[in-house]
Amino acid sequence: MVTTTCNLSGTAPQPLPISIQKYQNCHHSPTLKFTHFLAKETQSLHFLQQSKPNIRNERLINLEETQQLHGHFIKTCSYCSCYQVPFTALNSYSSNAALYSFLITSYIKNNCPQEAVKIYADMRRKDIEADNFIIPSVLKACRLIRSNHLGQEVHGFVVKSGFHGDVFVCNALIMMYSEVGNLASARLLFDKIDSKDVVSWSTMIRNYHRNGLLDEALNLLRDMHVMRVKPSESAMISTIHVFAELGDLKLGKAIHAYVIRNKSFIGKPGISLSTPLIDMYVKCSNLAYSRRVFDALPEVSIISWTAMIAGYIHCNYLHEGVRLFVKMLGEGMFPNEITILSLVKECGIARALELGKWLHAFTLRNGFTISLVLGTAFIDMYGKCGDVVSARYVFDSIKNKDLTMWSAMISAYAQTNCIDEAYEIFVQMTGCGIRPNEITMVSLLVLCSKTGSLEMGKWVHSYIDKEGIKGDMILETSLVDMYAKCGDIDMAYEIFLAATDRDILMWNAMISGFAIHGHGEAALDLLAKMEALGATPDDITFIAALHACSHAGLVQEGKRLFHKMVHDFGLVPKVEHYGCMVDLVGRAGLLDEAQELIKNMPMRPNVAVLGSFLAACKIHKNVTLGEWAAKQFLSLEPQKCGYNVLMSNIYAAASRWGDVADIRRAMMDEGISKEPGVSSIEVNGSIHKFIMGDRDHPEYQNIYDMISDY
């Protein structure tokens, strides 16, 4: 006879798993073995529901066995995700801290941090003492639900209960504060720990790295070395990641040498340091060293293969990446979904559309299931490569889309300035009952910024307020950036002033906004205020400030800023900073000084730098220096017509019409054509795009008639 289980949904009962039918008549001590067994059975939930009354009425040998059965019963229910049963059991008995601790841990393991918090609250109500093992679990629940307020309450309990001297608890607090975005409290707590262990250091360094605070992470690494704290393997991985983000090859080589000298890291079980080293050398633009680390591996895991192939794609060595991928297949190592995800992501960054399509075809040919995560990665890659048709194809092929995928499709349209299509997807998403988050709204705001759509931007802002979408500073920064780029600098500044917290991105957005509008003095005043409040400007801040000086003609102020950036803040000027300086002095007519800047740059000037200089030569009608710049331009991009057009304009301004004709003729002979100018304007919420010489607009005749009147 087949034994059946009761079904809570009221449908027909299901047979018990054959593997546990033989245990159904066990009593007393075998019951304990039975619950141990049930904890490993995935089909045991219904049997527990049927058996609960029998277990409750069993005559057990003694109190100790009853207590053991109680504990095993709660454990079994938590393994089966039957949380109502153990919670009822806790409320039915005078439970001890160990049972509460186990249940809190079980909820967290099963991704139910809110329930874990409720159990902790129940403990506090019943005055059951929480120990230094329970508190870290509760703090983990706080960081999973990203509740700074609740974490602070638990911190208060820690201090009150005397656990603030326990380094294990303090490390959990540091991790909680870091992951809810309260790095200031995390650092304050870190500094107060008398007996920091390697976990304390590693946690703080890792969280500085995750938040992009690389200088702070580097300073902590130096302090750690001074304190003679030997890093763990986890700490070494965090350190390598920091050096990778800094892109400092010298530091990268030093940490690699340290790993080699300390033989305890070599051949050690656990996470390999080789893959982070490969990634670090890639980000330091040294593929030769990456390959050397890769080739030295005695056994190459799929993770190391992935890192090396992704490195080639990242550095735009696409053929080498494909060749290594084929070699991996030839050696019997088949990629998993994580491998494909990593490579697709790098294709998006490198704008390697053809390779991305090849990987897409590979996954389809080899039976990969296009999961939500993988589908989203393909949509993101196609969006970054400008192929929204393929992105939409992937999007439409997946039935049960999540918020991340909807947001990725909106972002893909945003990157290609398809405002109507992005709005259409947004309406479809909300119509399906999916509530947008801050990432979705940021994508829409970025689109409004790029297209200059102020009315659409205002609508998005209104939607955010109406729906109560709470975001971090990224959302507020996007609003500041949108209003500034769409022409409403006053509203941008109003949002900036209303922000309770400001990170470096928000300061940069506002300074850049003032620069765009030609408010040089306001930009410099804001930079001074930023420094006075203790915020440290970065290289982007100085690009925005120098840009402001250039547009406002503040030559001396710009020169002082450049000097300050190098000597006061120790920042190494990038090509963008030199470009701003060339533009600054060039606009002011200091063309010889601008030329010297270009000649003395520690790197090769790019198109933007030479373009700024050529434009300055045109303004000030300096043919000689314009010809010099045109030659530099030609060596960089011979097929681009930009320098030809500028040079033609310079000759025209100097009335050298023969030279103008020569340039035009040369362009025609080489098949080089000037891209037509494009402009757009927003009228009543609609974006109207105009291309030079086109007649596609329905009111083109009226437009041309009006232009001819001027």
As a whole number of angstroms, the distance between CA 648 and CA 652 comes to 6
Q: Can you tell me the distance from the alpha carbon of 60 to that of 473, in angstroms, rounded to the nearest whole number?
A: 59
Output the pLDDT for position 683.
63
- Given this model, what pLDDT does residue 196 score? 87
687 strand-pairing partners: 682
Between the CA of residue 269 and those of 255, 366, 595, what are the distances in Å? 20, 32, 57
688 pLDDT band (50/70/90 cuts)?
A: low
pLDDT at 646: 66
Q: What is the pLDDT of residues 496-518, one digit of tens each?
A: 999 988 889 999 999 999 999 99
Domains of the chain: which residue ranges? 401-501
C-alpha of 4 from chain center: 50
pLDDT at 428: 94
Q: What is the pLDDT of residue 687?
A: 63
Task: Name the pLDDT band for 66 (thresholds 50, 70, 90).
Answer: low
Confidence of residue 73 (pLDDT cuts 50, 70, 90): low
Phi, psi of 10 (to 5 degrees): 90, 5
Q: At 70, is the pLDDT very low, low, confident or very high (cuts 50, 70, 90)?
A: low
More confident residue, 86 or 184: 184
Kindly report, residue by residue over 198-251, the tens digit of the pLDDT. Answer: 888 888 888 888 877 878 888 888 888 888 888 878 778 888 888 888 888 888
The label of the residue with tokens 């991340």 reads: 404
Q: Rounded to an integer, what distance in angstroms lies between the CA atom of residue 356 and that of residue 354? A: 5
Q: Taking Cα atoms as reference points, which of 121, 113, 115, 56 lies closest to residue 89?
A: 56
Q: What is the pTM of this model?
A: 0.64
The Cα–Cα gap between 389 and 656 comes to 47
Q: Are 486 and 454 in contact (CB under 8 A)?
A: yes
Share of the chain above pLDDT 70, in %: 75
Chain segment 568-582, per-residue pLDDT in tens: 988 889 999 999 999
Q: Tell whether the torsion through CA atoms of 192, 198, 202 and 203 is positive or negative.
A: negative
Q: Give the least confident one: 51-65, 219-233, 305-319, 533-547.
A: 51-65
Which residue would you say has higher pLDDT here, 87 or 471? 471
Integer angstrom CA distances of residue 9 from 54, 79, 84: 21, 20, 15
Using CA atoms, how far apart are residues 297 and 264, in angstroms rounded to an integer? 16
8-state DSSP, 351? T
Of 247, 239, 251, 254, nearest to 209 by C-alpha is 239
Higher pLDDT, 318 or 248: 318
**Residue 604: pLDDT above 50?**
yes
pLDDT band for position 670 (cuts 50, 70, 90):
low
pLDDT in tens, 431-464: 999 999 999 999 999 999 988 899 999 999 999 9
Report residue 347 as tokens: 């294709």
pLDDT of residue 544: 95
Judged by average pLDDT, the poorest of 47-56, 360-369, 542-551 is: 47-56
User: What distance in Å separates the CA atoms of residue 509 and residue 526, rounded to the nearest whole number?
Assistant: 11
When the pLDDT of each residue in the chain is averaged and rounded to a whole number, the result is 80
Q: How far apart are the first and last CA of the chain?
A: 98
Radius of gyration (Cα) for the chain, nearest Å? 32
